[in-house]
A and B are shown apart, each in its own frame.
Chain A
């Protein structure tokens, strides 16, 4: 359906081309700049007179004035269909392992492969029969994809009612085999395969309504689930200076999050971190299903050294795939690391276009672009009555660790929860370094609100006392205040902090959190009697030690109860019941 419309290059500046064209071009359409035998994918981003500005998704070395450009008349799209899960794509949905097989160690430019395996055969089971009437996003049939029923749906773009003229019988088909023919009242006919394409920058809206996200998404990270919960279909952001543990936090979440599918968009970050996921996930088992974690994971990997324009595309590729699985009634978590790199990609392009810069040279439209991206998250009711959700968690890497910068501020306006990481806490090795006093969440957690408020107040008072102690010294602090301070530190040490490398401590399920939290609350609410500050400190050091040990014991072990009793006993020694 696409007819190549020729153009010629008249200017090259970095990854930006200026192209003179003869017939009509579309904003954001895909074009290919040709040098020698290599075709480089590009996207139209501005049209002025008969010259279009194109951003090239590859290195532009060797392009010259006069190089031909082919326009495709199609927007930048992703291929959707069975076989996406477990894949590793670059920002343009090129399958990286296949690319490695073809090109070796390096990413050769201008090589584009089919995102979905064309030869693999899927057992298809029809869900409609000839003569049925269907509308957009309706299930035609299903194929099993790992642990999921992958729905083969009518195109999301379909308008009006169509009649199923023919539908494939139960059997094995490849993704590109025709499986259905639809016809509408005007006699127009469409042949469908298991693949559909969707332009990445447009949200898929084939649902009945959007709902308010209320169900919590358990991450097994105590400070998140208890204090700053995330809802399924919600959005949250993790800003933090470098080295504060953003990526580790994302990795832990990607393992433990209580969702069906996790999509990791490694956007402009280190390749090394992606590799870890790549190599480890196939061998890890998903505690929910007992299958390999890779079966529910998809990685979009556009690391920092890969071309910058494709970096911008990668987050859209990821969110479009997330929306596609949402249409099947699944809960999807999209982790974008890092959205700052994506914003910087926008800035680089904006600079080359010589647009008037906004704050810190970011383009003026930064805010609306970020808002539009996060708004693609959400909980929806589908046409068949089921629900599906896309939860978006984005890390932000603010320049200089300063949250006042434009990307962090634009993000904070549109997200439902804020997990701010602090350099102070990470320097003191208090992981996860989410700041307990500065972070917030607008979502409802599973815990009793009063209990959480009590704990939070204690943290705040403890912090105030510690600040005051810096001014008046320990000797100027009353023993009661000092105990408050110790209690705050204790809560921090045994509940907020979690050892990411301990098998048990790194992932605390919801019910254990409730149990432990109740026990710790009881300790915190106990009035204690000490005569000396050193005595109090020593007591809390021991208590902390015991509780930390307790955190590392599996709940089914006999030691779990024993340690709990030890803690109980030691508490009785200092409790002041007077």
Chain B
């Protein structure tokens, strides 16, 4: 028998304060008001004052509303019955299916022991040359797609999900437009992938606190699948919305903001989610692909900036294309030494030349005379953009490498590319 508390002494934002004792930090409670029942989580204890974050928001909560503590933290069910299902950010079914209560597992669990991790070694093939060749996706990688509102990041995410060879897909949607949610569901369904997917969806019209739960729910489920030796791909969109939700709560809690209003622990909070990406020794793996929209296309904004430091490489999606610049992840280097011997060289040389092409474009736009070298670069840059960067290109990596050599041979002389002589002799098209 749990005691019911009715003495709410503060309601501000989504946080209420109730007087109670014997309450554990992070414990869940049920708040009942005339307008419905919502879950709430303890986020601070101060003497007998208990701060609760109400999932459905504080609207309609009265000072004499009933608060009942549940004696456990936020949990998520786990069984194979989850596959093909859609849930909300508080873990209840969104698809009118039955509720699942098997194997309740706490979310936001401890991090994996580094000694139990192994060096990632498997490439995840996507058929997109800008990924496979220039920014290889690796099993257990955590990788954000940096993008701007209006770019086709969700279709890209869906396409990678469909083409990647994995056992289970877990989608966490935060602040999704309802259309986008339906797009994901329908795409997965039409390709027959829904039966190996679990969806946790928070739409833009849902209470903001539920948004905060989505990554933890999704990753807790993914972790359980990974422990069962499954290769799991977790898709999160959009982590900027998640960070903004965090900011909202932090400000309500009167925390000192650090940078543009975001809480000082933004890095740790994001990291504790992304670091769930893992390749277990003797078990499965979790790969995380997350969309981070950059407000104002500004990569120094705190969310993309912190994300960049946490993740292993990133994809920049601009003007409907994945940019070849942006950081090289160390991980990729581990994998692409075993694809084909010329992989790394092609990757570096083509990007170096593409960077020179960009310089030439700048020169051209300023009206300078184009030298012979410049015209070569211009030709190269155009072919590179049309045949490699275009997102509709769908070829396996071996073909993409051959195409790379063909483009180079078409545009340059052997010595101009800076490729080691040994490789030139072997691969340069005759």
Contact = CB atoms under 8 A, between A and B. Distances in A.
Contact of A399 (B44, B115, B227, B305): B305
A554 interface: no
A475 B44 contact: no
A290 B310 CA distance: 35
Contact of B25 (A12, A242, A534): A12
Which one of A18, A61, A348, A397 has the greatest number of beta carbons of chain B within 10 Å? A61
Interface in A367-405: 397, 399-402
B25 A62 contact: yes
Contacts of A426: 327-328
A139 B423 CA distance: 57
B372 interface: yes
Interface stretch (B89-97, B238-246, B360-368): B360-368
B114 A470 contact: no
Interface in B1-18: none
Interface in B91-129: 109-120
Interface stretch (B169-177, B187-195, B269-277): B269-277
B24 A11 contact: no
A401 B259 contact: no
B275 A344 contact: no
A66 B47 CA distance: 9
B280 A351 contact: no
A357 interface: yes
A279 to B, nearest CB: 5
Nearest to B268: A308
B119 A351 contact: no
A88 B114 contact: yes
Contacts of A11: 44-47
B141 to A, nearest CB: 8
Given A399-B300, A428-B355, A65 B264 contact: no
Contacts of B25: 12, 60-64
Interface residues of A, number: 91
A243 B331 CA distance: 12
Contacts of B45: 9, 11-13, 63-65
Contact of B258 (A10, A271, A351, A474): A351
B45 to A, nearest CB: 4
A542 interface: yes
A301 B114 contact: yes
Contacts of A205: none
Contact of A103 (B27, B113, B337): B113
A105 B227 contact: yes
B373 A534 contact: yes
A65 B140 contact: no
Which one of B257, B258, B334 has the greatest number of beta carbons of chain A within 10 Å? B258
A273 interface: yes
A105 B421 contact: no
Nearest to B44: A13
Given A107-B112, A274-B114, A305 B47 contact: no
Contacts of B73: 61-62
Given A65-B48, A344-B267, A242 B327 contact: yes
A288 interface: no
A138 interface: no
B325 interface: yes
A348 B262 CA distance: 12
Interface stretch (B78-86, B202-210, B412-420): B412-420
A289 interface: no
Nearest to B310: A304
B386 interface: no
Interface stretch (B29-37, B157-165, B344-352, B392-400): B344-352
Contacts of A501: 333, 337, 344
A473 B256 contact: no
B369 interface: yes
A64 B48 CA distance: 10
A306 B110 CA distance: 8
A314 interface: no
Given A61-B26, A429-B352, A474-B368, A304 B271 contact: yes
B302 A537 contact: no
Contact of B272 (A103, A278, A305): A305
Given A62-B26, A64-B45, A473-B366, A275 B119 contact: yes
Contacts of A534: 371-373
B305 A400 contact: yes
B256 A96 contact: no
A125 interface: no
B372 A475 contact: no
Interface in B270-328: 271-272, 274-278, 280, 283, 299-302, 305-306, 308-310, 312-314, 325-328
B150 interface: no
B26 A105 contact: no
B338 interface: no
A105 B312 contact: no
A8 B267 CA distance: 31
A183 interface: no
Contacts of A9: 45
Interface in B190-221: none
A535 to B, nearest CB: 10
B140 A305 contact: no
Contacts of A347: 258, 264
Contacts of B333: 501
Given A99-B113, A344-B267, A243 B27 contact: no
B76 to A, nearest CB: 15
Contacts of A303: 111, 114, 275
B115 A475 contact: no
A12 B271 contact: no
Contacts of B309: 242, 338, 397
Given A96-B115, A305-B272, A541-B418, A361 B258 contact: yes
Contacts of B331: 272
B21 interface: yes
B23 interface: yes
A377 to B, nearest CB: 25
B330 interface: yes
Contacts of B313: 243
Contact of A66 (B21, B227, B268): B21
Contacts of B117: 271-272, 275
Which one of B309, B325, B327 has the greatest number of beta carbons of chain A within 10 Å? B309
B215 to A, nearest CB: 12
Contacts of A351: 255-256, 258, 263-265
Contacts of B272: 304-305
A549 B424 CA distance: 12
B154 to A, nearest CB: 24
Contacts of B362: 470
Contact of A361 (B264, B363, B418): B264
A545 B24 contact: no
Contacts of A354: 256
A494 B72 CA distance: 62
Contact of A279 (B24, B112, B118): B118
Which one of A63, A65, A350, A361 has the greatest number of beta carbons of chain B within 10 Å? A65
Nearest to B352: A429
Q: Return the 4 tightest CB-CB contacts between A and B, nearest first.
A: A243-B327, A400-B300, A305-B275, A304-B271
19 contacts: A61-B25, A64-B23, A100-B116, A105-B113, A106-B112, A107-B113, A109-B110, A244-B327, A276-B330, A278-B114, A304-B268, A304-B274, A305-B275, A361-B257, A402-B300, A429-B352, A493-B418, A501-B333, A501-B344
Given A268-B267, A271-B275, 20 more contacts: A12-B25, A62-B27, A64-B23, A65-B22, A66-B22, A105-B112, A271-B111, A272-B117, A275-B117, A303-B275, A304-B275, A338-B309, A344-B265, A344-B267, A347-B258, A357-B258, A401-B300, A473-B366, A474-B369, A545-B418
